[in-house]
Amino acid sequence: MSGRRQVWLVARRELRERSRSRALRVSILVMVLAVAALIVLPAVLLSNERNRDIGITGDTPSDLVLTIQAHADAVGTTAHIHRYDGLATGERAVRRGDVDVLVVDGRRLEWPTEADQKLKAVITGAIQLVAVRERAAAAGIEPDELLALVAPVPVTNVELSDVAGRSAGDETATTIMIGLLLLTISVYGGLVLSGVVEEKANRVVEVLLARVPARTLLAGKVLGIGLLGLAQVAATALAAMIAIATVDSFNIPAISGGVLAWVVVWFVLGYALYATLYGALGSLASRPEDAQSTAGPAMMVMIASYFAAFTMVAQADSVAARAISYFPTTSPLAMPGRIAMGAAAWWEPFLAIAIIVVTIVGLVRLGGRLYATAILHGGPTLGLRDAWRATNKANARASRPAATLGPAPLRQALSAVREGRQTMRGAGQSGQPRAVVVLTLIGLAVGVAVALLTSDVIIGVIAGAVFIALPSRASNSGPAAVRVDPDGRS
């Protein structure tokens, strides 16, 4: 059976087992709802601010109501007028919160607490215009001449950012996009890490390696979990687009359809790079609780890459930003930001893709060799230097190719592994998928809490991503692994 067929069988196994997890489904639902809420809720809150209830009482000019409504429409506010027969009735409505302000005799404004400056400017401008019209009529000035005299001069507001042609809102949207990329790559890279350590602790990897080459097993695991991650990214993006289309008043700058397509491409590339690294480093750990320490270098590289990309958003056209957008570990986070800010030439993303693809191919080869040596190691956690030395020695004396099976025997082996894993889970030996989902949910909660406390969405995204990426996962230790040769002999 060809290597591609083997990779697909392993990937399909990962898809089937992970997708059956109720915790994973809940996490996808929570992510979709969270993104939709982040888009819809601000628009709903803004729409509530656009609707204002205004009370009118006393001797009021006949055209004041129409003038107030016209001024409110000009600033994007809808004014609902309520008439009251007496001052006491109107003041009771103000105290109850039925109206935002009470206009008395067309001259006095009564507020429930502190005056709303925007609404005050709207009503005051309307009162002044009505008074000017009355004086103009008394002076014999025609209405058309008056309108020509008092017609407002349109003023355009432009918010400049550090990148020419982009606004401050573009920078904010780009920064949030980079944070979400970090979050998704770290979550699904962590799933690869936990899956590798789980199989090693449960000793099911010994059965797999007797039938599948180590490199094929690692590639299939990365592919299967990556497809799940891509499905969640697609579902989240679809929910975001539906929410944006539903709430017409909400606008996301810089994130166009083309930019979103590039985000998906760089998620795939970034995940493939870091997940392969996670899988190789995860094979060094003998127990699940040691997984985070062995994968620490990959986590730190990812966090450092994020901060490098975050810092360069405001300098997207600088030499430093261009350099990190080509470097393999930082390009998945830096290049999408440069594309969103319009600072990347058409050929630059393709050059960066070529560089990272070559890096991924080389990492799969090197990581596969490290994985093959370390995955069957039992006892204390294997150091990276010791594992690499053992890998070189094993390659020097290896002369037999790995045994392979046809589709039917390989499916039987995967089925046996699945049954063994379910048995071990029933005995309480594995809780990794549920722990990953719990960390994801807690990380979202931490990010939202930090964003609310600091009034800064960017800091909230960073806090949530770091919380998910860095904490260690506790789990029961598994028995020591037994060495199995590729031909199945122990």
The pLDDT score that the predictor gives to residue 490 is 39
Q: Domain check: are 143 and 174 in the same one?
A: no
Question: pLDDT tens digits, residue range 459-469?
Answer: 666 666 665 55
pLDDT top residue among 377 and 325:
325
Q: Domain check: are 102 and 56 in the same one?
A: yes
Rounded Cα gap, residues 472 and 475, in angstroms: 10
The pLDDT score that the predictor gives to residue 465 is 64
Rounded Cα gap, residues 203 and 77, in angstroms: 66
Domain range holding 68? 51-150
The pLDDT score that the predictor gives to residue 361 is 86
Q: What is the mean pLDDT of residues 107-118?
A: 87
Q: What is the mean pLDDT of residues 216-225?
A: 85
Question: pLDDT tens digits, residue range 9-57?
Answer: 888 888 888 777 777 778 778 878 877 777 777 666 665 567 888 999 9
**Token pair for residue 6?**
């083997």
DSSP for 366-430? HHHHHHHHHTT--SSPPPHHHHHHHHHHHHHH--SPPP---HHHHHHHHHHHHHHHHHHHHTT--
The pLDDT score that the predictor gives to residue 486 is 38
Instruction: Name the domain boundary from 150, 185, 217.
Output: 150
pLDDT top residue among 473 and 161:
161
Q: Which residue has the tokens 């996009």?
A: 177
The pLDDT score that the predictor gives to residue 427 is 39
pLDDT top residue among 64 and 213:
64
Question: pLDDT tens digits, residue range 268-319?
Answer: 899 999 988 888 887 777 777 777 778 888 888 888 888 888 888 878 888 8
Q: Domain check: are 67 and 190 in the same one?
A: no
Smallest Cα–Cα separation from 235: which of 25, 446, 463?
25
Tell me whether residue 13 is in a domain: no
Q: Domain check: are 144 and 171 in the same one?
A: no
Q: Domain check: are 280 and 199 in the same one?
A: yes
Does residue 229 carry a pLDDT above 70?
Answer: yes
Tell me whether residue 67 is in a domain: yes
Mutual orientation of helices 3-19 and 214-246 as an angle, nearest 10°? 50
Tell me whether residue 207 is in a domain: yes
Question: pLDDT tens digits, residue range 400-409?
Answer: 444 444 455 5
Tell me whether residue 488 is in a domain: no
Does residue 159 carry a pLDDT above 90?
Answer: no
User: What confidence tier does 351 reach under pLDDT thresholds 50, 70, 90?
Assistant: very high
Rounded Cα gap, residues 240 and 380, in angstroms: 46
Does residue 103 carry a pLDDT above 80?
Answer: yes
User: What confidence tier does 480 reach under pLDDT thresholds 50, 70, 90?
Assistant: very low
Cα of first residue to Cα of last residue in the chain, in angstroms, is: 24
Q: Domain check: are 58 and 172 in the same one?
A: no
How many whole angstroms from its chain centre is CA 192? 19
Rounded Cα gap, residues 387 and 382, in angstroms: 6
DSSP summary character for residue 21: -
Q: Domain check: are 200 and 260 in the same one?
A: yes
Q: Domain check: are 87 and 195 in the same one?
A: no
Tell me whether residue 110 is in a domain: yes
Q: Which residue has the tokens 């982009």?
A: 166
DSSP for 329-348? TTHHHHHHHHHHTT-S-TTH
Q: Domain check: are 328 and 432 in the same one?
A: yes
Rounded Cα gap, residues 101 and 123, in angstroms: 10
Q: Domain check: are 214 and 340 in the same one?
A: yes
Question: pLDDT tens digits, residue range 160-193?
Answer: 655 665 666 667 777 777 887 888 888 888 888 8
Tell me whether residue 258 is in a domain: yes
Chain mean pLDDT for the chain:
74
Q: Domain check: are 256 and 371 in the same one?
A: yes
Share of the chain above pLDDT 70, in %: 68
Tell me whether residue 483 is in a domain: no
Does residue 420 carry a pLDDT above 50?
Answer: no
145-159, 264-278, 460-474, range with greatest mean pLDDT = 264-278
Task: State how many domains the chain has.
Answer: 2
Smallest Cα–Cα separation from 122: which of 101, 144, 140?
101
The pLDDT score that the predictor gives to residue 353 is 94
Rounded Cα gap, residues 406 and 446, in angstroms: 48
Q: Domain check: are 117 and 57 in the same one?
A: yes
Tell me whether residue 3 is in a domain: no
